Structures are given as C-alpha cells and as structure tokens.
Amino acid sequence: MKHLRFLDHFVHQIHANLFEIQQSGQMLAPARVYASEEMFNSLLEETEPLKQVINVAHLPGIQKYSLAMPDIHWGYGFPIGGVAATDWSTGVISPGGVGYDINCGVRLASTGLNQTDIQNKLAKLVQELFKAIPTGIGSSHAIRKLNKTELKSALTQGVSWFINQGFGKPEDIGFTEDKGHLSWADPSVISDRALERGQDQMGTLGSGNHFLEIDVVDTIYDPIAAEAMGMYEKQIMVLIHTGSRGFGYQVCEDSLKIMSKAAQKYKLPLPDRQLASAPIQSPEGQNYLAAMAAAANFAWSNRQVIMHLASRVMKRVLSLSDSDLDFNLIYDVSHNIAKKEKHLINGKPTDLCVHRKGATRAFPPASSDIPDKYQSIGQPVLIPGDMGRYSFVCTGTQKAMDETFGSACHGAGRILSRNQAKRAAHNRDLFKEMSQKGVVVQARGKGTMAEEMPEAYKDVANVVNIMHHSGICNKVVRLKPLGVIKG
C-alpha cells in the first residue's frame, strides 16, 4: 500500500481504488477518496477538489470520514461527488453539501420497444421531444403556469400532486426515491422570488448537463437484476436528468445568505465560507431543511411531468397505444440532497444527516427504503455518462452501507471546464460528429454542444468500474444513447 503526501497531509492507499487523507490539524475526521491511481495522481496536481474534501472533514458533528466518489470535481463548498454525514442531534447542515440545483437527479423509464421499432422515426422523435419539453436557461411553459396556491400544494405533496393532475400513473410513486415526497417541506419558509421562478418551470429541462435521452440497452452484466427491473437487450429506454430549476437555485441562494450569518452567530470553526452551515436543530437549520425539502419535491415532480410529456410524444410520433408503448418507471434517484438516515456508528444505529452532493443513494438488498420489487437485488443506481458514449444502471450493496453511508457516484465527472470545452470545440461541427456516432442531438445551440462535448467528461465506464470493483455498487446494464435533447 502506498503512502503519499498532499500539502501537509499524509495519504494512505487503502486498496487499489481507495485513498485516505489522514486526520490532522483541525480536521474532525479523515477524508476518503474513491479513485484509481491515475485519477488520484491527477487530483494531487489539480489540488482544489482534494482541498474541498479536507475542508468538509472540519464540519462540526461529522461522522467517520469526509468522502468523495470517483467522479469528483470542484464544486461550491463541497466537491461534486462529495458525501458527508453529521450527527442529527449535535451536527450541522450545510447548503454547500447539497448544491444550488437541489435534488438534481435521474429518472429511467422502460418501454416495450426495440431499437428497430424507432430507428426510422428517431430524428422525428427527437425533434418533437425538443419541441414539447422546454430546454435552456430560463425555459418555461411546458404546462400551464401554476398559481401560487397550486405550487405550494405541489411543494408540500410532491409527485402525488401531479399524478392526481393526470401526469403519470400511481405506480410511479413507489419507484421514486422517498416516494417523491419529503414530508417536512414547508412552503411558508420559501421567498416570493423563489415561488415566482417556480410557477412556470415545471416540466422543463433547463440548461447545462441536463438532458433527456432515448437509449438502448446494449450490454447486460447481471441478467438476474436486469430481469427484475424488466430490462433486456436492444430495449428502448428513456433517461431524464434535471432538477429543481430556478426554484431550487433561488432556495439555495436565499439559504446561503441566512447560513453565512448563522455560521458567525453559532461561532462555527469553518475553513471555507462556502461551507456556511448551521446546527441542524437550530431555527436556521430547520428552516433550511424545510425549504430544501420543498425544492426536492419540486424536482421529483419536474421529472415526473417530463416523463409524462415524453410518453405522450412517443405515442403520437410512433402511433402507439399505451399498451404498445408499455412505458414504466424503473426508478428515480436524487443526486443533490441532505436527509435524515440511520447508519451504524461504532456498531450503534445512529440518526445522521447525510449530505450527498453529486452522489447517488445506493441502498442494499432487503432495505426497507426500496420497492418490494427490488428487495432481492438492491436499489437501482442510475449513473449517466456523456451524450456520446454510454450510461450505466447498477444496484446498491451492503458494502456501500458499511463504507459510504449507502452512497455511490452520480455520473462521469467533468475534466474540462465549460470555457475549456468551448475552446476545445472551436471550429468543430459537434452535431455532425454526434451523428457519425449514431446519436441524433437537438440542443439550444453550439455553445451548449461545446460545453457538453464528450471529451469534457471522464469516461463514465472508468468511474463505474471503480465503484463496482470496490463493491459499492454492482453493474447491471449499459445504455447507449441514440437520441438526445439538451438545453
């Protein structure tokens, strides 16, 4: 096992894909990073993401260790790919451990179609999806504008409110993380500005790395788990990646102003002001939890509405009935959230606040928090890649519960900033390049395509393999993109 140094810290390589920055100075816990040797050496040179993992280890009440997944890259406060759990009674909650796009996440739906069923109409299908599902910064009007009373009901009830309005099936609720509803949401703590931003953004993708993909199952690694999920080779799938839009951004923005003052009020010894926090049990902590929960309910609802809009477009373009399309939700997972969960600390079940910032819940078989259908295989873990390569469906494991508070990676992870990607894409026709790869893309413009070019990301297969070989999640299937809409 290798011993390295990072700044003033000793680093111990625990196994091939796990490194521990040992506790020193004012750190309250060690910092662990899941990465290959090549990835970790790159992080040693880049420095900022590792500094953030160390900074998180200073949070009051942190338990066991600060964690980073192999898709780690720089973020606000926490690194993206960061996980930390604080004691529910004595610890703090930090908006930087959730992020601006609260409950950004991924939803996967299956169809009864094969690749040959859509190939001749793929371009038309992508075009019509792009028309029906607004994309880009400030996108709105996918459905009618909600009045504030309706929006507050939706923020309180989550996915079930929209299903009652005809957007999807009651069964969808059981296949959404936390059934698409955090019960402690309280719209009364939300600013008028946030409510205004949320009224007409339901059912919209937004910008950046958010997308809707038409994918095909091209590789099966675990036939038993794939069968349990209802997945088979050459099957057409729909993958949706988006979050709480401008509503969640405003909730975070508002909360950070309050938390910055709270960190001073409670004299919290934080190494970075971006880690602005408050004790969980303080009024500021409880209000943030209530506001964050409302934004989480918004995001689950947003993906629910987009899924319904997609099914409607597919039926129309492909001239299919409901039974022909056979459109079913496999699962919906959150990537940016903080929740009360019970985990073993020194062998004792303990209530914790688990922050996942660019990380996916990965609960094991027999967990009471996952659907009956998946009790024998574990929670589906959805890990999207870039638009030119592939995405993965995995399952959670007991080892994840033991080592990572039931968490896994959430995607490929950027290796080029958006500006670097734009420079690298100069004078390239990325639409044509994607077409040559067999992927039909509709996007707002060349800027989005440049920022989201495949080379801007790590190869998600390498990221997933680190999790798989570490026993944190098990590979089930690989999905290949055929059609993509982006903001």
- Confidence check: pLDDT of 447 > 90: no
* pLDDT for the residue 118: 97
**Mean model confidence pLDDT for the chain:** 96
Please tell me the total count of domains within the chain.
Answer: 1
Encode pLDDT of 146-165 as tens digits: 999 999 999 999 999 999 99
Higher pLDDT: 309 or 448? It is: 309
* pLDDT for the residue 449: 87
- Confidence check: pLDDT of 279 > 60: yes
Paired residues of 176 in beta bridges:
332
* pLDDT for the residue 351: 98
pTM above 0.75, yes or no: yes
Please tell me the distance from the alpha carbon of residue 331 to that of residue 322, in angstroms, as a whole number.
Answer: 19
- Confidence check: pLDDT of 412 > 70: yes
In a domain, 74, yes or no: no
Encode pLDDT of 94-137 as tens digits: 999 999 999 999 999 999 999 999 999 999 999 999 999 999 88
- Confidence check: pLDDT of 20 > 80: yes
In a domain, 343, yes or no: yes
* Annotated active-site residue in 410, 426, 468, 469: 410
Q: Find how far residue 2's CA is from the centre of its chain.
A: 32
- Confidence check: pLDDT of 63 > 80: yes
Please check whether residue 377 is in contact with residue 224, taking contact to mean a CB–CB distance below 8 angstroms.
yes
User: HEC string of the chain?
Assistant: CCEEEECCEEEEEEECCEEEECCCCCCCCCEEEECCHHHHHHHHHHCHHHHHHHHHCCCCCECCCEEEEEEEECCCCCCEEEEEEEECCCCEECHHHCCCCCCCEEEEEEEEEEHHHHHHHHHHHHHHHHHHCCECCCCCCCCCCCCHHHHHHHHHHCHHHHHHCCCCCHHHHHHEHHHHCCCCCCHHHCCHHHHHHHCCCCCCCECCCCEEEEEEEEEECCHHHHHHHCCCCCEEEEEEEECCHHHHHHHHHHHHHHHHHHHHHCCCCCCCHHHCCEECCCHHHHHHHHHHHHHHHHHHHHHHHHHHHHHHHHHHHHCCCHHHHCCEEEEEEECEEEEEEEEEECCEEEEEEEEEECEEECCCCCCCCCCHHHCCCCCEEEECCCCCCCEEEEEECHHHHHHCCCEEECCCCECCCHHHHHHHCCCCCHHHHHHHCCCEEECCCHHHHHHCCHHHECCHHHHHHHHHHCCCEEEEEEEEEEEEEEC
Which residue range forms the structural domain that includes residue 144?
Answer: 105-415+457-486
In a domain, 436, yes or no: no
In a domain, 441, yes or no: no
In a domain, 480, yes or no: yes
Tell me what the mean pLDDT of segment 178-184 comes to: 98
- Confidence check: pLDDT of 2 > 80: no
Comparing 9-18, 78-87, 234-243, 453-462, the range with the smallest average pLDDT is: 453-462
* pLDDT for the residue 212: 97
Q: How sure is the predictor about 215, in pLDDT bands with cuts at 50, 70 and 90?
A: very high
Please tell me the distance from the alpha carbon of residue 485 to that of residue 387, in angstroms, as a whole number.
Answer: 10
Q: How sure is the predictor about 255, in pLDDT bands with cuts at 50, 70 and 90?
A: very high
Instruction: Provide the CATH number for the domain around residue 181.
Output: 3.90.1860.10
Q: How sure is the predictor about 1, in pLDDT bands with cuts at 50, 70 and 90?
A: low
Tell me what the mean pLDDT of segment 390-401 comes to: 98
410 labelled catalytic: yes
In a domain, 176, yes or no: yes
In a domain, 172, yes or no: yes
Q: What percent of the chain has pLDDT over 90?
A: 89
In a domain, 422, yes or no: no
Q: How sure is the predictor about 487, in pLDDT bands with cuts at 50, 70 and 90?
A: confident
* pLDDT for the residue 267: 97
